[in-house]
Structure 1
Amino acid sequence: MDPHDTPHVLLTNDDGIDAPGIRALYDALTEVATVTVVAPDRNRSAVGRSLSYGRTGSESDDFSIDLEADGFTSPVPHADHELGYAVDGTPCDCAIVGVNALEPRPDLVVSGCNSGANLGAYVFSRSGTVSAAMEAAFLGTPSIAVSMDTLGMESELEPADFAHTGEITAALVEGAPGTGLFDRVDYLNVNVPRPDVESEGVELTRPTEVYEMDAALENGEFQLTNRLWQQMANRDIPDPEDTDRHALLEGAVSVSPMRVPYDVVDTDAVRTILEDVL
């Protein structure tokens, strides 16, 4: 892509096409790019890299490919939306459709902005937001997953709450072409502090490897407890200083440069580029 050309961005998410985070990114990105939205028609959080492919509908658990009827082709229902296309499917469905079916082919995929941070190596295969970015990267299209910490916020979020996130994302989309960043990086996982937290700059990070999910059987029922979110709520974390969760809780925007499937890029190799961009 010529760095002087306006990039074509595919924008998707996992919170659903009507979520305030995707509206905020759409408004910010249209200032620096041509944007096409292909996003789930409802909340599809935490579905990971699942696909609707081969199912009779995205709500169905039945998997069936009729080889005689339509080979290996499976429909992905959608409806027109004021932002683009609302898909009855998963974030990865949207990434595949958007990368391969749109003309012209997108130069970059942005997934977000997610309401809630996506931090840690364990979350990459679970988060619909990160999974859409990863799916695009597997298909050869560079991508950015964008999430914002909302833990402890009680008021209903509006697009204006994602204003700083939109600025960061637009800066990456506008500044990255021509820098060689995506020759070294397949995708970025970006996490932005809560809107009521004054930002303390940008930190290049690696996903924390700390994972503390607990389970118990009490009164005949299984229960899951997310110790990581419990620690975040208490602002008491065990993560090393160079990790995403540590940076976020120190008030910094966390940017983790990644290669598929889960490999962390040497941050020194991209530090100068991102410092110029952001």
Structure 2
Amino acid sequence: MPKKKAAAKTQPKNHKRKKPIILVTNDDGVAAPGIRALVEAVAGLGKVIVVAPDKPQSGMGHAITIGHPLRMQKVNLFDDVEAYSCSGTPVDCVKLAVDKIIHDKPTICISGINHGANHSINVIYSGTMSAALEAAIESIPSIGFSLLDLSIEADFTAAKKYARTIVEQVLNDVDLDKHLCLNVNFPKGSEKMIKGIRVCRQAYAKYEEEFDERKDPHGRRYYWLTGEFLNFDRGKDTDVWALENQYVSVVPVQFDLTHYELKKKLETNWTF
């Protein structure tokens, strides 16, 4: 008699998906109002763990600490949420969280909510977005969140609502690219003022900069970076346009900086 085939194993009806682990970081510091708003926004969506700088690290880009030791300290700043302050950069925070706190890759890494927009060229300089990109490099889907309001008293009410919606979309996407990284910016204003969400491209805009020369009380010169943000891109599909028109902008970004179109031209036209 032929042997009966073993019955295929099936998941029990009450099987539940593993609880997501949500790593939260930022570049404004672990005590900033923006990171508290982000922790509150994702409450209940998974196990939340915070690892963030112990002081502001804006404009640090993708810097890492290699010349001196890093320190971490457990802090009690968020109700029932495991949280640590780190002496390093936002990228350091992600690396340490994976290796020494979670001992595994979290389901998702979210960074922010930054005080001030990270649209257009700001993505290059932003510690908020560099933390998110570091996670994407490590095959951890990630999102950087920023609000177009530099005030320490900024209202994050609307940002919290839309941040939760976007995080839920990512967590529920079964075909998710493990290297996904989204740059999300919220316009300033109340929830009623926001028209919705737009998936955008990064605008061509930049700062026209200069250094203001001053003197300290001892008569020694020092310099303070100043500048004006100028948008050279009139497209209506950009992050700058979306924010100017009261939309939440979502720009998919990547750490592969290869200019593929130019690569093809060079391969065709250059001779070596």
| CA deviation after TM superposition for structure 1 residue 182, in Å | 3.0
Match of 2:40 among 23, 27, 31: 27
Aligned counterparts of 1:182 and 1:208: Cα–Cα separation in 2:
25
DSSP-derived class of the 2:206 partner: coil
Please give the per-residue CA displacement for 1:182-213, whole angstroms capped at 9, x wherever unaligned: 32862000000113471011111011122242
Please give the per-residue CA displacement for 1:72-119, whole angstroms capped at 9, x wherever unaligned: xxx420111114000001000001112333145311000000000001
Alpha carbons 2:59, 2:125 under 8 Å: kept: yes
Unmatched tracts of structure 1, length 5 or more: 57-74, 265-278
Counterpart residue number, 1:89: 88
Larger Rg over CA atoms = 2
Counterpart residue number, 1:245: 240
Unmatched tracts of structure 2, length 5 or more: 1-14, 215-220, 260-272
In structure 2, what residue type is equivalent to 1:27? E
DSSP-derived class of the 1:190 partner: strand
Aligned counterparts of 2:168 and 2:207: Cα–Cα separation in 1:
37
Counterpart residue number, 1:105: 105
Aligned counterparts of 2:174 and 2:16: Cα–Cα separation in 1:
10
| CA deviation after TM superposition for structure 1 residue 243, in Å | 0.7
Over the aligned positions, Cα root-mean-square deviation in angstroms equals 2.7
The alpha-carbon distance between structure 1 residues 89 and 239, as it changes in their structure 2 partners (threshold 3 A), is: farther
In structure 2, what residue type is equivalent to 1:193? P
Q: How does 1:135-214 map to 2 (within 5 A)?
A: 135-150=134-149, 156-157=152-153, 161-180=155-174, 182-183=176-177, 186-196=180-190, 198-214=193-209
DSSP-derived class of the 1:247 partner: helix
Which 4+ stretches in 1 moved above 6 angstroms?
216-223
| CA deviation after TM superposition for structure 1 residue 177, in Å | 2.7
What is the TM-score normalised by the length of structure 1?
A: 0.74
Alpha carbons 1:11, 1:111 under 8 Å: kept: yes
The alpha-carbon distance between structure 1 residues 35 and 193, as it changes in their structure 2 partners (threshold 3 A), is: same
In structure 2, what residue type is equivalent to 1:107? T
Alpha carbons 1:77, 1:87 under 8 Å: kept: yes
Moved more, 93-102 or 42-51: 93-102
Counterpart residue number, 1:44: 57
Counterpart residue number, 1:256: 251
Q: Number of aligned pairs?
A: 232
Give the percent of matched residue pairs that are identical in Structure 1 and Structure 2: 33
* Higher normalized contact order (CA 8 Å, seq sep 6+, divided by chain length): 1
Aligned counterparts of 1:181 and 1:248: Cα–Cα separation in 2:
29
| CA deviation after TM superposition for structure 1 residue 162, in Å | 1.1
Please give the per-residue CA displacement for 1:43-64, whole angstroms capped at 9, x wherever unaligned: 11111111112x22xxxxxxxx
